[in-house]
Amino acid sequence: MIEPVERFRARSGAPGVAVALVPATGPVDVVARGERVRGGDDPVTPDDRWHIGSCMKAMTAVTVARFAERGELDWSAPVASLFDGDADAGWRQVTLADVLVHTAGMPANPTADRMRAALTDPAPVTAQRALLAADTLALPPSEPGRFRYSNLGYTLVGAALERMTGKPFEDVLTDEVLRPLGITSGGFGPPGDGQPRGHRARWRGFGRGPAIEPDSTSLTYPPDNPPLLSPAGRLHSTLGDWALFMRTFLDQPGRLIGPESIERICTPPAGVATQQGMGWWIPTRGPLLDRVAYVQQGSNTRWVATAAVSRDRSRAALVACNDGRTRMFGSTVRLALDVLDS
């Protein structure tokens, strides 16, 4: 596994990278190469924590599945029923499952002004999410049934879980997913001191840019998306801990959620030209069809993470790098495939 990692670093110029080969049972093999800061002399280690971005969406979906399996939440619940207050009538025809597969008719993200304001908003994040939900549902859905990848949708799912439980989404995820799996390194936002730093691109996704300090208060180049968006993907963890979650989707029935929930999460919506499930891309055609069962990627434009599950679901490959350039998406997929083949 070391050879493909070294090739990746030589070709991509990423400051640091970590990969894991995850079997359904048995030890997880983790390899880390490079530096925590480009040009520095502080090497990454197998125990470092990496930002996994939207790869966390599958965790949000699993959290919903846990409540659904206990009969406390219904996948087919209309979005309008999940919140107090007035919602446009169009949301009565849109379900929670529609939101999670990105066919609810929600915008991709909150507005740029709202995202920027959320970086410094002193209000509790639960109140911010509740207000965002109310403002979103006051307007009609836009082309429901059409695929539109939506971070906003997952943020509203987090707000719905907060309304139902009376707890912040971050605590709900910890209680339902992280703690039951024994994940102890999970946290929200960029990893802190003594950990790899995310690196932004220099120009619109291209060019090697500088490292971003995790406590930076820059509104132009913040270290992460605002906490408002945590349900859509702000988790960091070690690859060893990420592997504990990944095994939920390997050939290991009954782990955390049942097979029916896994099938629901990993099935694209019927009648829609997309291969996107709930936090997973499921190849139904193309060159990856015979090689992998599921793929996911995440990025906050400072990090890129990729996970790929083998076609027979016997193993998975995890890749994380502290480089947010656009080219890292394709490069990390190729590395994940090389790791699966190693």
In this model, does residue 300 exceed pLDDT 70? yes
Q: What is the mean pLDDT of residues 208-228?
A: 96
Give pLDDT, residue 218: 95
Q: What is the mean pLDDT of residues 319-335?
A: 98
- C-alpha pair distances (Å), 309 with each of 25, 146, 249: 14, 27, 8
**How far apart are alpha carbons 195 and 302 in whole angstroms?**
14
Domain boundaries, given as residue ranges, for the chain: 2-341
Tens digit of each residue's pLDDT (9 = 90 or more) over 45-85: 999 999 999 999 999 999 999 999 999 999 999 999 999 88
Give pLDDT, residue 2: 87
Tens digit of each residue's pLDDT (9 = 90 or more) over 139-180: 999 999 999 999 999 999 999 999 999 999 999 999 999 999
H/E element holding 97? helix 96-100
In this model, does residue 19 exceed pLDDT 90? yes
In the chain the first and final C-alpha atoms are separated, in Å, by: 6
Give pLDDT, residue 272: 87
Q: Are 99 and 153 in contact (CB under 8 A)?
A: yes
Banded pLDDT at 291 (limits 50, 70, 90): very high
**How far apart are alpha carbons 341 and 111 in whole angstroms?**
42
In this model, does residue 278 exceed pLDDT 80? yes
**Which residue has tokens 């083949």?**
341
Give pLDDT, residue 192: 94
CATH classification of 2-341 is 3.40.710.10, yes or no? yes
**Burial code of 182-211, b = ≥16 C-beta within 10 A, e = fewer?**
ebebbbbbbbeeebbbbbbbeeebeeebeb
Give pLDDT, residue 31: 98
- Whether the predicted model's global pTM rises above the 0.75 cut: yes
Tens digit of each residue's pLDDT (9 = 90 or more) over 240-271: 999 999 999 998 755 799 999 999 999 999 88
Nearest to 90 by CA among 80, 103, 76: 80
Give pLDDT, residue 303: 98
- C-alpha pair distances (Å), 35 with each of 17, 250, 303, 311: 8, 31, 14, 33
Helix, strand, coil shares of the chain, percent, nearest 5, are 40, 20, 45
Give pLDDT, residue 254: 59
